[in-house]
Every structure is written in C-alpha cells, then in structure tokens.
Structure 1
Amino acid sequence: MDSVEDGRVKPIDILLVEPNPGDTRLFTESFKDGSITNQIYAVGDGESALEFLHQRGEYESVPQPDIILLNFKLPGTSGEDVLARLRGDPKFSEIPVVVLTSSEVEEDIVRSNGVDADHYLQKPVESEDFVDFVQSIEAFWLTIVRDSSK
C-alpha cells in the first residue's frame, strides 16, 4: 500500500482506531506478514483519534494519515462522531475512511444511519483471515490512488 509522490512510491501512513488490543496486534502483524511497509499508528478510542488528527499532546509530531481504519464501537467519543467531525472539517474531509464492522448486521445498521464512509469492511473473526483482510484494505487504497491520479 504505497502512494506515488513526484514519481516515487512512498509508504502510506495509516491510522487504526481500534479499541481491542488483540485486534490491533493482529492488524499490525498482518501488515508485516503481508510485506506491507506502511507506518501504522494505532489509538484505542475516538478522543485519541481526534487528538492524533489534530496533532495535539503526545501526537504533536505524528504525520497526517493517508487513510483511517475506524472501528465504530469505541469507548467515549463514538466512531460515528469521529467520522462526522472529519467530514465537517475541510482539513480532514479528503482522508479516506474505512469503517470496520464486526458483522453484516452492524454494517447494515451503520449504512442505514447515513454514515459517510468511503468503504466498509467486516473485521475477520479468525486470526488467519487478517492477512486477506489487510490485502483488501490495500486493494481499496490502490483504487483510491488510481482514481485520484486521473
């Protein structure tokens, strides 16, 4: 999952907003197992995601992410609130957001609430399925890069 900048391919910065430490570890390991050389930053709640995006506090020196993987079931500030704030701020509105759901039912509920995500993906249940899951995120990213370069 790289982007093209001035004719060069560069790794992308990914912000993972995931409250489950086990899933965060599986995401991180799956990116490594898939030989994907991107930088993954992980936070566990909505408020930390907003702090990261606004580069405040402990996140003041982090880069703006190229893509956000957002779990909707977050403690405190919900994923829906995070996404609404992103879409309402011109500085962040162009960052692609992939909403992570745990089931088709949850995805249907999220979609029925009119959530303005770029893509929805169901998180895998089995740890061995995470590499395929990460590859589907990579395919989504490559589609965005191709579409934006036209």
Structure 2
Amino acid sequence: MKKKLNILLIEDNIIEVMKMDRTLSLLKLKHNIIKAKTADEAFEILKQKERFPDIILLDLNMPKISGIEFLSTLKSNDNLKHIPTIILTTSDNENDLNKCYKIGISGYILKPLKYEDYVKKIEIALSYWCINELKRY
C-alpha cells in the first residue's frame, strides 16, 4: 500500500490548483493536499504541526513574495529546511533552475502544455516521494 502524503501546494493560479486536484483524482491518489495561494499563507500553515507537510510543491511565480524568496526563507529555517521542496513551474529559465538548486530544492518540474504529460510527471514525482522515508512530526 502506498504511503499517504501530506502535500503543501503553494500555487496562486486557481486553474493550476484545479488541475492538481483533477490529476490526483484521475490517478486515484488519496494524498492530503493543503493549499496556499501566497508565501505568507504557506508560512502560517507551516506553523501548525497538525497540518505539517511531508513535501512542498512550489510555484515560482507568485504575488508579493516570489517562489525563490519563499524557498530562501524556508531553507534558512532550521525547523523547516528538511522538508523536500519540489518546484512546479512554467519557468524554464536556467538562472531560476540554478538558484533553486543552490538554495536546496529536491526537484524542479516543468509544467508541460499537454495535460497527459502533466499527469505522468505528477504521478512519477509523487510515487517517488511515497517510497522515501520522510521525517514526520
């Protein structure tokens, strides 16, 4: 039986949130998705131990605080830096990619244009994290 993950999805685009929900439903995955539209909202969620995520899926293009700024703050916090953080973005900018890996991401996934390709990428990524031994609180 696959492990049920607590996933913090940080995404301000409602269409992308709906796409993730649809994908998990299609794949019949029962992971718990905690949603945040902004970095501030995500940090509030991270203060709540009962909603603590196993992994974070992070969009780079967000209002106020960018995904890279959020990532820098997250990875500089001793209580949060262990959380695997996967970038889920449309940015194929090599500078963004390099910055994110330098800060300490666990993966960088480009959102493909075709929905079928998106489903495959999400299925593979979440399957990988289901077999990992994750630090739980």
TM-score range, shorter chain: 0.7 to 0.9
Unmatched 5+ stretches in structure 1? 4-10, 56-60
TM-score, structure 2 as length reference: 0.85
Matches within 5 A, 1:1-150: 2-3=2-3, 11-55=4-48, 62-104=50-92, 106=93, 108-113=94-99, 114-142=102-130, 144-145=132-133
Residue type of the alignment partner of 1:87: K
Equivalent-residue separation in structure 2 for 1:35 and 1:135 (angstroms): 10
Could you say what secondary structure the match of 1:130 adopts? helix
Identity %: 26
Unmatched 5+ stretches in structure 2? none
Bigger share in strand: 1
**Structure 1 outlier segments of 4+, above 6 Å:** none
Q: Give yes or no for contact 1:18–1:42 (8 Å, CA) kept in 2.
A: yes
Residue type of the alignment partner of 1:51: E
Select the structure of larger CA radius of gyration. Answer: 1
Equivalent-residue separation in structure 1 for 2:39 and 2:86 (angstroms): 15
Q: Give yes or no for contact 1:13–1:38 (8 Å, CA) kept in 2.
A: yes
TM-score, structure 1 as length reference: 0.78
Say how many residue pairs are matched. Answer: 133
1:143 CA drift (Å) = 5.3
1:2 CA drift (Å) = 4.2
Q: Give yes or no for contact 2:34–2:51 (8 Å, CA) kept in 1.
A: no
Residue type of the alignment partner of 2:62: L
